[in-house]
Amino acid sequence: MTDLEPAADNLTTLESHILSEETRHPGATGAFSWILAAMTLSAKIIASKIRRARIEDVLGTLGSKNITGDTQQKLDVIANETLLRALGTRAGVAVLASEENEQPIILQTKVDRPYCVLFDPLDGSSNLDACVSVGTIFSILRHDTQADPIEISILQPGTKQIAAGYMLYGSSCVFVLTTGHGVNLFVLDPAVGAFILVQENLRVPESAKSYSINEAYRADFPAGYQRYLDWVHGQRYSSRYIGTMVADIHRILVQGGVFMYPPTKAHPQGKLRLMYEANPMAMIVEQAGGKAVAGTQRILDIQPTGLHERTPVIMGSAAEVDHVLRHVKAAGAE
């Protein structure tokens, strides 16, 4: 049995873990717990849809693009609608924001709806036809009741997140969650229909000779990244790139290494979205003892200016991120 496999007598489910955490907060209303319950329900539905995608003929594109310019897959829309329906019924949610929708969805302006939820419903969906792992990423913020207009309530730096997580749909369905007190990993047991806790306080290895980047665009990378790639080739690092951010980061959390998505000539501001991709993953990586930066700036310190704002990304094992930064800074000093 590996560290990520549940023991036969493990009865700690995600739901029981959430309720246990709630008891530590005497003033808790249960609204936050209901939001996480909606995420677990959505994960089970989306995982089921993915498993049956070819049978139900919902693979492939719709022939349209979303607001960020990505080609929409049929399952992008299915996953998005699933999350909107599940979260839209939760009384604590004031604002929902998705990669697939141009504007945030305002559910309620009342003070008793204290949370905003942002998500990428199906990260890596272009890989679905090849049966490659995909995932859902989410971020939870406190709703700023003084925000005017209400839409700007979501424009908070990543340091303001109260929770972040992702669901990975692969050989197993994994739910990774942080509420700012470490990272916990759960795996869906299909026999009982529950997410079972398999590892508490997950820690990313300090270093590992592995890097993840799409080297096809190397000629368009800034000089510092090219210098780093020359260095890792000389150090005989292994290249591991899946093309689904959730899957790449999950592997790094478990095995170590560094993930990079640099700026390019086509995307000088980077390509990954800050609010619902980089920020939640950065929170998870930092809570697991790693580092997450954009260029040379800590990702979680960036003040967002728009829902679909893009950013470059370097995140993973602390020592490996430092190696990248060393080369980026050296190139900038020349």
Catalytic residues: 70, 76, 99-100, 120, 122-123, 277
The DSSP line for 260-277 is EE---SS-TT-SEEIIII
Q: What is the DSSP letter of 10?
A: -
Sign of the Cα pseudo-torsion (19, 25, 26, 28, in order): negative
Residue 230: helix, strand or coil by DSSP? helix
Cβ-contact 286, 158 below 8 angstroms: no
Torsion angle defined by CA atoms of residues 140, 304, 318 and 218, in that order, rounded to the nearest 10 degrees: 120
In angstroms, rounded to a whole number, what is the distance separating the alpha carbons of residues 170 and 166? 13
Q: What is the DSSP letter of 13?
A: B
In angstroms, rounded to a whole number, what is the distance separating the alpha carbons of residues 21 and 28? 10
Amino acid occupying residue 320: E
Phi, psi of 169 (to 5 degrees): -105, 100
Nearest to residue 239, comparing CAs of 258, 261, 221, 219?
A: 258
CA angle centred on 250, ends 245 and 253, rounded to 5°: 125
Strands 297-298 and 291-294: antiparallel
Cβ-contact 206, 256 below 8 angstroms: yes
Q: Retrieve residue 94's tokens.
A: 């004031």
In angstroms, rounded to a whole number, what is the distance separating the alpha carbons of residues 121 and 75? 9
Rg of the chain, C-alpha, whole Å: 19
In angstroms, rounded to a whole number, what is the distance separating the alpha carbons of residues 122 and 124? 6
